[in-house]
Amino acid sequence: MYLYNSATHKKAEFVTHIPGRVEMYTCGPTVYHFAHIGNLRSYIMEDVLEKFLRYEGYEVNRVMNITDVGHLASDADTGEDKMLKGAKRENKTVMEIAQFYTDAFFSDCDKLHIKRPDVIEPATSCIDEYIKIISALIEKGCAYVAGGNVYFDTSKLERYYIFNDHDEEDLAVGVREGVEEDVNKRNKNDFVLWFTKSKFEDQALKWDSPWGIGYPGWHIECTGISLKHNGEYLDLHCGGIDNAFPHHTNEIAQSESYLGHPWCPQWFHVHHLNTNSGKMSKSKGEFLTVSLLEEKGYDPLAYRFFCLQSHYRKSLVFSWENLDNAQGAYHKLLRRIAALNEEGAVDEAALAEYKTKFIQQVGNDLNTSMGITALYDVLKAPMDDATKRAVLGSFDSVLGLGLIERAAALREREAVQVQTGGAGGYTVTGEGDAEIDALVLKRYEAKKAKDFAEADRIRDELKAMGIEVTDRKDGASWRRV
């Protein structure tokens, strides 16, 4: 596999410290609110990356943190603690907020077919690890105590800016919310490893430490959790592009200073999901969630399909029209797969040939759009249906679109057609949804009463729900498209 490396700014063959095994770390959510679909784009692409590595034959140990303490409103150690902010907003304890939004995050992941990492570790469970690392950094002269807090001293580094080709907008993440100068810092890029009550008197979560009662900074948690579960040599670190600076930059600084050797050679960053008004962000107050997509009638896997049509290193523009197109294409793909015969023997030679081609295509810097194209190539290929189904199922173990299962469910729904009777012998044939049946009948009644404006309105409503209606002489039939 060839991957672009944010640290070297080049695409190169992916290699690991231990041949055949990948130690993989994914920056997890700060669980003070729902994840928006821009956040989830990163997790979708990281999920495909993990599944592809397993498809290639690697053994993967994927670790993810859950940030439930220490992440301030600005990534540069200023502003209110996000967890405390969430607790105040909902009049709950920080731990209640953390549990609720952790559950919500993984519920969204399940809907999007995002596999859960092998290890999921809340930041609050590794306090001893952080204290051990911070103590060692102080002993090495890489950190200092000032104003009651512990800071990493960036002046001791030969090179601080690792990801130096990012746009000005990305580099400004740390100062986007009006950072106030921290007078305790020796250098402007120094960052907090441990806060004490000198920072916030009302901090909800506090622990004893050699430097006083306090809590860890945001950056130290990923180093501590990764060292605990991935070991001293990490092969692959993933996250959104907005994590590159300062979060990942600071992770490298503290990890390599603590270890005394290079830590992680490969960095994988997923770019933003944008709307017409700019990058999607919770700080703007309004943001799109998986639940909201469902409320509007969208299948979460249609959003996954939408994401896979674009490359992870390109900003993706979200609009309802774009999602409509993706959902329509996804459902048509399912219908084509549902039409394949299930009987017959699989041509194992053809299956192996197509798997090799798929690895070459998607393995070129995780080219998921080529993975989607490969699905259509299989459907058009001169091979029997059983082999097509086997190849599609194989590809979908990476793409995660639920193709075979969803197609089977579609066949079942269509095999058990349900008829609903109306006035004058008018019948509606559909998939057993009383609400849709009622709307189709209501449209018929409006047309019969020559209220064509109302009939057109209902037709448009059905279309927006992804329902295609076919009129017959004695009624109508409908299906989801």
**How confident is the model at residue 320, as a pLDDT?**
94
The CATH topology of domain 2-270 is Rossmann fold (3.40.50)
Tokens of 395: 């590809």
Fold of 318-413: Four Helix Bundle (Hemerythrin (Met), subunit A) (1.20.120)
Please work out, in degrees rounded to the nearest 5, the angle formed at the alpha carbon of residue 185 by the alpha carbons of 179 and 186: 135
pLDDT of residue 422: 57
| Measured distance CA(28)–CA(122) in Å, rounded | 9
> Helix, strand or coil for residue 288?
coil
Tokens of 135: 């103590």
DSSP secondary structure letter of residue 172: G
Strand partners, 479: 468
The neighbouring-strand residues paired with 279 are: 274
DSSP state, residue 180: P
Q: How far apart are the C-alpha atoms of 123 and 129, rounded to whole Å?
A: 10
Q: What is the DSSP letter of 193?
A: E
> Can you tell me the distance from the alpha carbon of 216 to that of 326, in angstroms, rounded to the nearest whole number?
42
Burial class (CB in 10 A: 0-12, 13-18, 19+), 256: middle
Per CATH, 2-270 and 318-413 having the same topology is answered no
Reduce the DSSP state of residue 202 to 3 states and report it.
coil
pLDDT tens for the chain, 481 residues: list them.
999 999 999 999 999 999 999 999 999 999 999 999 999 999 999 999 999 999 999 999 999 999 988 676 655 566 667 877 788 888 888 889 999 999 999 999 999 999 999 999 999 999 999 999 999 999 999 999 998 899 999 999 999 999 975 444 444 433 434 445 688 899 999 999 999 865 556 667 889 999 999 999 999 999 999 999 999 999 999 999 999 999 999 999 999 999 999 999 999 999 999 887 766 666 555 679 999 999 999 999 999 999 999 999 999 999 999 999 999 999 999 999 998 988 889 999 999 999 999 999 999 999 999 999 999 999 999 999 999 999 999 999 999 999 999 999 888 776 554 555 555 567 777 776 778 888 888 898 888 888 999 999 998 899 888 888 888 777 888 887 7
Tokens coding 240: 């959104």
User: What is d(CA 353, CA 256) in angstroms, rounded to the nearest whole number?
Assistant: 43
| CB distance 462 to 439 below 8 Å | yes
Domain borders along the chain are 2-270, 318-413, 416-480
Residue 174 tokens, joined = 């740390």
Q: pLDDT value at position 179?
A: 46
What does R_g of the chain's alpha carbons equal in angstroms? 26
Length reported for the chain: 481
Burial grade of 447 (CB within 10 A; 0-12, 13-18, 19 or more): middle
